[in-house]
Amino acid sequence: MSVSEIAPMRARLRLPNRWSVGAVVIAVIVIAPILAVLGMAFFPKENIWPHLMSTTLPRYLRNTAILMVGVGTLAAMVGTGAAWLVSRYEFPGRRWMEWLLLLPLAIPAYVGAYALVDFLEYAGPVQTGLREVFGWKTARDYWFPEIRSMGAAILVLAAAMFPYVYLLARAAFREQSAASEEVAQSLGAGAWGRFWRVGLPLARPAIAAGVAIVMMESVNDFGTVDYFAVQTLTTGIFTVWLEANNAGGAAQIASVVLLLVILLVALEKISRRKMRYFNLSTRHRPVARKTLSPLVGWTMLAACFVPFFMGFLLPASVILSHALDNAENWSDPDLWDAGLNTLTVGGIAALVTVAAGVFLVYGVRLTGRKLPRLLLPVTTIGYAAPGAVLGVGILIPLAVMDNAFADFVETLTGADVGLILTGSAFALILSYCVRFFAIAQGAADAAMGRVSPNLALAARSLGRNQGQVLGAVYYPLMRASVASALLLVFVDCVKELPATLLLRPFNYDTLATRVHEQASLEALGDAAPAAILVILTGLLAVGLLARTNR
């Protein structure tokens, strides 16, 4: 067959290029842990589903539902209220408070839980002060709320995560036109009426998106609920897998968690489906902030200060106090080993995740095939899947592959190579990549969408291949977005706890696991230095977020 005959045949077959093949491979790797969980849940080696249904599963479901609804409701009220105040009114300290309300994002919820218990427990400063003031001798002399309870877990999680709602609601309120406010005011609507009938309905899609994120993060949480002894679906995964040694049962509970997450995403989309609002004015005027009297202004400042205090100032102060009181712990070599491990796995995961995200988005843009385009949005499911679910979907299949490969090598050579994938940090890095792939993919997609296709076509006309176009045209124009994605993925890797607890190699600590282990032993002084490092890392992300949302 001649060359002239082969070319038309290749054109008819439309053989995929390396970019489209690579995009499909990356998408399959990201989706595989979720499929593995579903496969193990439907085809377990030992089916304990009837036992779970008759014993612990109803309790796990009930507690998880209460936690989700409680945290979502409280975060919605606090985040929406704070966003409305800083968007519509001028009061003392408003400019500072507008950005201070983002700082709770730097405090992992489990760190907030440890700090709250230390602050409010029997030996803490609050109860100690009450006993000194009123002369009480023992706990039987007075009543104090139970700290390690569902209510406390809801309070801590809402204080840590209300900024998700606040950030989206504030943006929605700022984008609203002054015309709608003026019409409502001319019809006699007061401040509450304008909020309830105009501002809130227009911002509802953004608020619903923020609440959905908060509720999904509540399902993902392990450190807080474990410390407060609240049995949820996530703690159930750890119990069934690690204590009962039943991977199939853990996968079945994980599939219930996945179902809840999918239901949340679906409800959020349905709630926004028929709610679309358009600005019909050709000249958009933002709503002017109303200047308040000193008394009302200071009251609003106090109202905004409370969530900032609960979400950032209180936990940061308690942890910092312990870190200063136990300064000798900063020289603990185990702390810096955990810091180095965190830097290593987080850095590698961030680089791999962002590189894979850029490759996937670029490959999908180049290909005309349907499969890569269909897989692109599905890859974001990893961000919604809790870390414990990914732990089940990654560790068990990798362990099977690891043992099979080790047995194969030993049969051929007689040498025992050990567990290469699960015995190293590979599984941990893979879980981070899957969990936070949506951040990298979203940043890459948005950045590439801002680059004119004419620039790429011009480079191609000058003889550049597709790889050179990516490096010479796209990358310089999207470098800032890539750097932001790297930082955000790294910070999330540092804070991630459930997947790290399940997938880390033996005797391999990160900052998050060190904080959890030491605090679980009631040694908050030993946990404080690692917690401070986690908080400082989180502040980097919050600073970037504040800069990009000016």
| Average pLDDT over every residue of 411-438 | 85
Same domain, 184 and 153: yes
Structural domain contains residue 115: no
Name the DSSP letter for residue 280: -
Structural domain for 395, as ranges: 336-550
- List, for residues 366-382, the tens digit of each pLDDT value: 876 777 777 777 787 77
Structural domain contains residue 105: yes
- List, for residues 324-370, the tens digit of each pLDDT value: 988 898 999 999 999 999 999 999 999 999 999 999 888 888 876 77
Structural domain contains residue 164: yes
Same domain, 525 and 436: yes
Angle at Cα 244 formed by Cα 240 and Cα 247, nearest 5°?
60
Q: Is 50 exposed, middle or buried (0-12, 13-18, 19+ CB in 10 A)?
A: exposed
Angle at Cα 262 formed by Cα 37 and Cα 22, nearest 5°?
60
- List, for residues 457-482, the tens digit of each pLDDT value: 888 788 888 888 888 888 888 888 88
| Closest by CA position to 514, among listed 524, 505, 348, 538 | 524
| Average pLDDT over every residue of 146-162 | 93
Report whether pLDDT(14) > 60.
no
Same domain, 310 and 440: no
Same domain, 500 and 393: yes
**Dihedral angle at the C-alpha atoms of 112, 115, 116, 121, nearest 10 degrees?**
160
Distance CA(208)–CA(457), nearest Å, equals 40
- List, for residues 503-515, the tens digit of each pLDDT value: 898 889 999 999 9
Structural domain contains residue 425: yes
Q: What is the pLDDT of residue 347?
A: 93
Same domain, 362 and 489: yes
Distance CA(450)–CA(475), nearest Å, equals 12
Evaluate whether 341 touches 494 at the Cβ level (below 8 Å). Answer: no
Structural domain contains residue 398: yes
Distance CA(57)–CA(70), nearest Å, equals 20
Q: What is the pLDDT of residue 1?
A: 46
Confidence of residue 40 (pLDDT cuts 50, 70, 90): confident
Distance CA(218)–CA(70), nearest Å, equals 10
Tell which phi-psi region holds residue 414, choosing left (phi > 0), alpha (psi between -120 and 50) or beta: left
Predicted TM-score (pTM) of the model is: 0.85
Find the distance separating the first CA and the last CA of the chain, reported in whole Å. 63
User: Which residue reads 């704070």 in tokens?
Assistant: 82
Evaluate whether 432 touches 349 at the Cβ level (below 8 Å). Answer: yes
Structure tokens at 450: 């801002």
Same domain, 238 and 349: no
Structural domain contains residue 181: yes
Total domain count, the chain: 2
Same domain, 309 and 393: no
Return the CATH number at 70.
1.10.3720.10
**CA-to-CA dists, residue 111 to 165, 236, 383, angstroms:** 21, 21, 21
Structural domain contains residue 405: yes
Final residue in a domain of this structure, among 325, 356, 385: 325
Final residue in a domain of this structure, among 266, 295, 325: 325
Same domain, 103 and 234: yes
Same domain, 359 and 301: no
Structural domain contains residue 34: no
Confidence of residue 11 (pLDDT cuts 50, 70, 90): very low
Same domain, 271 and 357: no
Same domain, 412 and 501: yes
Q: 3-state DSSP call for residue 286?
A: strand
Q: 3-state DSSP call for residue 90?
A: strand
Same domain, 214 and 172: yes
